[in-house]
């Protein structure tokens, strides 16, 4: 049996060692390559380069040295793709092949790509067919555009005409047939498509997420718009496949370069990587997809990306990448209301891991979109994924209204156009962009309140009546980072109803209300609940409508969590002891083993962790031994007098407290429920044990009422108090299979007694 377990461990190790992985292979140079940008780039790309002052002949645009690529491919199992910007080729290879590739003289380094799916939003609500019956503006259709003041664009005939938008997503089913995109097809506004996973032009299938996001940018149902950029041109790229998690970052990178080549002005990406691939500390703009997004921005492209859907997760306290890139317009989500201003719970909070302001702006996280159930269906969906394309469509109109701007200038204008500007925080950014800023209809903000320091407190004093007005406030350190922030919506507030704040000395209080923002430096001396309402005699005040609050722990990257540096599993396991040798007791009845414990792991990377576990376990070894003739003396002092001629059942309860040391290798981070992925554990354990022997018998010299009585006896089993062995597990998400083998024996091993307990135990576990 020991040989069997050893062979099993070696086989699993060999499987890990020979498993296919995706690697970026970075090449040394592009020596000898030729490049003509006027043959390579679309005319709109050349126009964009000239407008932003980017260099068409930049080395990043040159092709890879083909002989280098051929040399890498000759060793690798498969080429996944190439990147001019990175001067790299992505390949699928075994670790041995990767090591051989790294020895090539023109290879700088080889870096693994861990498996992780791009994160998508999910559609909810039942589909509805036909056109919209718009009874009110706050809900059915146009609310998602009215919230951005989209009518101001429509009145000026602005619909994104002349702007080209690339949409990167998981598929676009029915875009070639659905009524919502008929105007795009009729006017040939879908310029190009490319399916990177399948290496072909057809993108009209697969994940419907792309269909929904496209409809938020430029969709139309009848005479009603789903998005603002109904006149823009489109590039559709499929870059996401759930079955190929290792390759998606490569395809996303290639999608950016494809969009650049084909003249995109804007890229809308409602995709991103978070906890399945990275730690929160990595959300600092340094991932490969973040670098690609920044490079696209340097080449004149405005990149819009969703903040992520991690707002409800206490273990992930920041946004996802590439929204963390400094040149990406990161879009957060708010609830779909024209009368209230509330952060939607699942939208990720900022800042970036290195403290930069994120998100930049926000929009509805709920939207009406085309539904692929039929060619005239729509439905109601939610996710931060939909705030991003709403802003991307808005940005196309804003760019049409202010031609000649660079991508970075446009990004700043979008921030300035937002309804909270210059106030910003880690939930809303600068707020929702407003079309009136670009059509010349926005008026300067009038002071609606003042801040006054009185006796160590800062008092907000309204200049006029504030009714149902959201009041945003934050405390800012001298370095610009936010200590805390919040929002109160007051039903009624006048000069008799004030808000009181205490702010640490040297920090600044910034408040926005009624379209006006001001600030004051704090010299607080009193201790007071932050944002306390002070109602003076005679004031009419009905209280708060909503409050959002995130404290300073937001700025600390998560240390605990599914994919943080430290991880934990609380688990319950159920198994069965199995006979593996002739001298071991044959259990001919059910013999259950139950275990409850906790494991703590320290991640040394996304693939490898070391861990320790503490566990309480109990195993009931059932066995039969007939006939069995014994007396009270044999059974012990606690038994009932009589001669027992048949023992129906005997068993030993073996309890133990176990300490385990183990290593965890992540075979894949793909998982349906928790993101814990698919893992293999291998470890050793030691335990302290105790046991109890139990009999249930029949007696010939006893009253019938005493028959089948349970009797206890000090165990005849010479159980070792200290035990040790090896354990292994395969786990997926919250469930797993395990095997453990005790290396020492428990029980008498003499031929006369033959009560040696089984050494092997197999079973299943569930973690919480």
Domain membership flag for residue 128: no
DSSP line for 645-670? EEEEEEEEEEEEEEEEEEEEEEEE--
Tell me, rounded to whole angstroms, the distance of Cα 392 from its chain centroid: 22
Domain membership flag for residue 6: no
Does residue 594 share a domain with residue 547? no
- Per the rule left: phi > 0, alpha: psi between -120 and 50, beta: everything else, 18 is alpha
The pLDDT value recorded for residue 259 is: 98
Domain membership flag for residue 294: yes
- Per-residue pLDDT reduced to its tens digit, 72-127: 999 999 999 999 999 999 999 988 999 999 999 999 999 887 544 445 544 344 34
Residue 88 contacts residue 26 (beta carbons within 8 Å): yes
Q: How far apart are CA 302 and CA 548, in angstroms?
A: 30
The pLDDT value recorded for residue 567 is: 83
Strand pairing report for 366-371 and 678-699? unpaired
Instruction: Using the Cα atoms of residue 373, residue 378, residue 380 and residue 385 in order, give the sign of their dihedral.
Output: positive
Which residue has 């003499």 as its token pair? Answer: 750
Does residue 588 share a domain with residue 498? no
For residue 158, give the nearest of 510, 372, 395 by alpha carbon: 395
Assigned token pair, 589: 């009845």
DSSP 8-state assignment for residue 342: -
For residue 291, give the nearest of 307, 315, 273, 276 by alpha carbon: 273
Instruction: Using the Cα atoms of residue 435, residue 437, residue 442 and residue 444 in order, give the sign of their dihedral.
Output: positive
Cα dist from 522 to 322, 503, 549, whole Å: 36, 5, 20
3 state SS of 100? helix
The pLDDT value recorded for residue 54 is: 95
Q: Is the peptide bond before 627 cis (omega within 30 degrees of 0)?
A: yes
Nearest-10 crossing angle of helices 95-102, 2-18: 40
Nearest-10 crossing angle of helices 288-298, 248-261: 0
Does residue 469 share a domain with residue 398? no
φ, ψ of residue 15 to 5 degrees: the values are: -65, -45
Does residue 518 share a domain with residue 587? no
Compute how many other C-beta atoms are within 10 angstroms of the C-beta atom of residue 199.
8
Residue 325 contacts residue 303 (beta carbons within 8 Å): yes
Domain membership flag for residue 561: no
Domain membership flag for residue 10: no
Residue 664 contacts residue 609 (beta carbons within 8 Å): yes
Residue 738 contacts residue 684 (beta carbons within 8 Å): no
Query: Which of 397, 417, 439 is the endpoint of a domain?
Result: 439
Does residue 288 share a domain with residue 203? yes
Report, in angstroms and rounded to the nearest whole number, the Rg of the chain calculated over CA atoms. Answer: 33
Compute how many other C-beta atoms are within 10 angstroms of the C-beta atom of residue 110.
21
The pLDDT value recorded for residue 468 is: 65
Question: Residues in the chain with pLDDT < 50?
Answer: 1-2, 4-17, 115-118, 121-141, 496, 525-549, 626-640, 644-648, 696-716, 750-753
Does residue 263 share a domain with residue 162? yes
φ, ψ of residue 509 to 5 degrees: the values are: -95, 125
Q: How far apart are CA 77 and CA 98, in angstroms?
A: 10
Assigned token pair, 215: 């409809």
Which residue has 């299938």 as its token pair? Answer: 205
Residue 271 contacts residue 252 (beta carbons within 8 Å): yes
The pLDDT value recorded for residue 534 is: 46
Does residue 262 share a domain with residue 156? yes
Does residue 754 share a domain with residue 650? yes
Type and span of the H or E element at 470 = strand 469-476
Order of strands across the sheet that contains 457-462: 449-454, 457-462, 497-501, 532-535
For residue 621, give the nearest of 503, 750, 715 by alpha carbon: 715
Compute how many other C-beta atoms are within 10 angstroms of the C-beta atom of residue 657.
14
Assigned token pair, 714: 């000090």
The number of distinct structural domains making up the chain is: 4
DSSP line for 536-566? -TT-----EEEEEEE-GGGGS--SBSTTSSE
For residue 252, give the nearest of 27, 60, 57, 90 by alpha carbon: 90
Does residue 250 share a domain with residue 196? yes
Does residue 525 share a domain with residue 617? no
Type and span of the H or E element at 459 = strand 457-462
Q: How far apart are CA 426 and CA 410, in angstroms?
A: 21
In sequence order, what are the residues at sequence separation of 6 or more whose Cβ sits closer than 8 angstroms to the Cβ of residue 428? 332, 334, 341, 343, 359, 362, 420, 472
Cα dist from 719 to 595, 622, 650, 690, 691, whole Å: 19, 15, 16, 7, 7
Q: Which domain holds residue 524?
A: 453-555
Which residue has 């400094």 as its token pair? Answer: 326
Assigned token pair, 330: 């990161």
Residues in the chain: 768
Strand partners, 43: none
Strand pairing report for 164-169 and 233-238? parallel
Order of strands across the sheet that contains 107-113: 78-83, 88-93, 21-27, 107-113
Compute how many other C-beta atoms are within 10 angstroms of the C-beta atom of residue 542.
11
Q: How far apart are CA 238 and CA 198, in angstroms?
A: 9
Q: Cβ-count burial of 57 within 10 angstroms (0-12 exposed, 13-18 middle, 19+ buried)?
A: exposed
Assigned token pair, 145: 């555009």
Instruction: Using the Cα atoms of residue 140, residue 146, residue 148 and residue 152 in order, give the sign of their dihedral.
Output: positive
Query: Which of 492, 526, 555 is the endpoint of a domain?
Result: 555
Domain membership flag for residue 101: yes
Q: How far apart are CA 512 and CA 530, in angstroms?
A: 16
Does residue 150 share a domain with residue 98? no
Does residue 545 share a domain with residue 570? no
For residue 670, give the nearest of 19, 119, 77 by alpha carbon: 119
Domain membership flag for residue 119: no
In sequence order, what are the residues at sequence separation of 6 or more whose Cβ sits closer than 8 angstroms to the Cβ of residue 375? 174, 177, 178, 179
Query: Which of 415, 439, 463 is the endpoint of a domain?
Result: 439
Strand pairing report for 532-535 and 497-501? antiparallel
CATH number at residue 270: 3.40.50.200
Residue 371 contacts residue 335 (beta carbons within 8 Å): no
Strand pairing report for 735-742 and 760-767? antiparallel
Domain membership flag for residue 560: no
Residue 617 contacts residue 656 (beta carbons within 8 Å): yes
């Amino acid at each position: 049996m020991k040989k069997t377990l050893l062979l099993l461990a070696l086989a699993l190790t060999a499987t890990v060692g020979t498993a296919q992985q995706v690697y970026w292979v970075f090449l040394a140079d592009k020596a000898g390559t030729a490049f003509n940008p006027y043959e390579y780039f679309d005319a709109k790309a050349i126009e964009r380069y000239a407008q932003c002052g980017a260099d068409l002949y930049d080395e990043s645009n040159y092709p890879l040295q083909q002989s280098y690529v051929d040399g890498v491919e000759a060793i690798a199992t498969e080429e996944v793709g190439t990147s001019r910007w990175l001067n790299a080729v992505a390949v699928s290879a075994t670790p041995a092949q990767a090591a051989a590739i790294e020895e090539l003289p023109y290879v700088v380094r080889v870096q693994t790509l861990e498996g992780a799916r791009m994160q998508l939003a999910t559609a909810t609500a039942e589909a509805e067919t036909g056109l919209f019956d718009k009874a009110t503006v706050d809900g059915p259709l146009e609310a998602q555009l009215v919230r951005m003041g989209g009518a101001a664009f429509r009145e000026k005939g602005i619909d994104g005409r002349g702007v080209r938008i690339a949409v990167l997503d998981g598929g676009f089913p029915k875009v070639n047939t659905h009524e919502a995109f008929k105007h795009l097809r009729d006017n040939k506004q879908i310029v190009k498509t490319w399916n990177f996973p399948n290496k072909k032009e057809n993108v009209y299938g697969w994940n419907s997420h792309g269909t929904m996001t496209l409809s938020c940018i430029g969709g139309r149902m009848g005479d009603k718009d789903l998005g603002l950029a109904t006149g823009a041109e489109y590039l559709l790229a499929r870059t996401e496949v759930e079955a190929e998690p290792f390759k998606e970052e490569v395809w996303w990178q290639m999608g950016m370069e494809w969009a650049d080549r084909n003249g995109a002005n804007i890229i809308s990406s409602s995709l991103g990587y978070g906890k399945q691939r990275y730690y929160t500390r990595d959300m600092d703009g340094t991932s490969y997809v973040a670098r690609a997004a920044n490079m696209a921005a340097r080449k004149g492209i405005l990149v819009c990306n969703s903040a992520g859907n991690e707002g409800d997760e206490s273990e992930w306290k920041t946004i996802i990448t590439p929204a963390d890139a400094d040149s990406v317009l990161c879009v957060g989500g708010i609830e779909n209301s024209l009368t209230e201003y509330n952060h939607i719970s699942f939208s990720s909070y900022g800042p970036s891991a290195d403290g930069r302001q994120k998100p930049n702006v926000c929009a509805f996280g709920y939207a009406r979109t085309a539904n692929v159930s039929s060619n005239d269906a729509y439905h109601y969906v939610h996710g931060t994924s939909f705030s991003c394309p709403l802003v991307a469509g808005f940005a196309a109109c804003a760019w049409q209204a202010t031609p000649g701007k660079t991508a970075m200038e446009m990004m700043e204008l979008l921030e300035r156009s937002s309804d909270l500007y210059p106030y910003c925080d880690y939930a809303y950014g600068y707020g929702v962009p407003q079309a009136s800023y670009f059509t010349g209809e926005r008026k300067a903000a009038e002071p609606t309140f003042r801040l006054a320091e009185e006796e160590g407190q800062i008092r907000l004093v309204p200049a006029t009546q504030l009714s149902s007005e959201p009041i945003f406030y934050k405390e800012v350190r001298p370095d610009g980072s936010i200590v805390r922030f919040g929002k109160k919506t007051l039903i009624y507030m006048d000069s008799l109803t004030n808000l009181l704040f205490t702010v640490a000395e040297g920090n600044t209080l910034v408040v926005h209300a009624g379209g006006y923002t001001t600030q004051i430096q704090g010299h607080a001396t009193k201790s007071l609940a932050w944002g306390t309402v002070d109602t003076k005699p005679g004031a009419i005040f009905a209280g708060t409508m909503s409050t959002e609050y995130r404290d300073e722990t937001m700025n600390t990257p998560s240390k605990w969590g599914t994919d943080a540096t430290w991880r934990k599993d609380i688990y319950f396991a159920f198994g069965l002891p199995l006979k593996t040798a002739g001298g071991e007791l044959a259990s001919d009845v059910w013999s259950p083993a139950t275990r409850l414990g906790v494991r703590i792991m320290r991640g040394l990377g996304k693939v490898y962790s070391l861990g320790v576990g503490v566990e309480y376990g109990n195993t009931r070894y059932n066995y039969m031994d007939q006939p069995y003739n014994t007396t009270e003396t044999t059974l012990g002092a606690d038994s009932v007098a009589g001669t027992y001629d048949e023992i129906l059942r005997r068993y030993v309860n073996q309890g133990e407290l176990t300490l385990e040391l183990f290593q965890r290798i992540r075979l894949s981070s793909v998982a349906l429920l928790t993101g814990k992925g698919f893992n293999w554990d291998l470890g050793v354990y030691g335990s302290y044990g105790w046991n109890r022997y139990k009999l249930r018998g029949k007696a010939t010299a006893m009253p019938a009422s005493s028959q089948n009585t349970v009797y206890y006896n000090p165990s005849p089993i010479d159980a070792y108090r200290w035990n040790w062995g090896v354990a292994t597990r395969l786990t997926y998400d919250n469930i797993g299979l395990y095997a453990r083998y005790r290396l020492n024996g428990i029980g008498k091993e003499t031929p006369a007694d033959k009560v040696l307990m089984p050494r092997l135990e197999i079973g299943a576990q569930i973690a919480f």
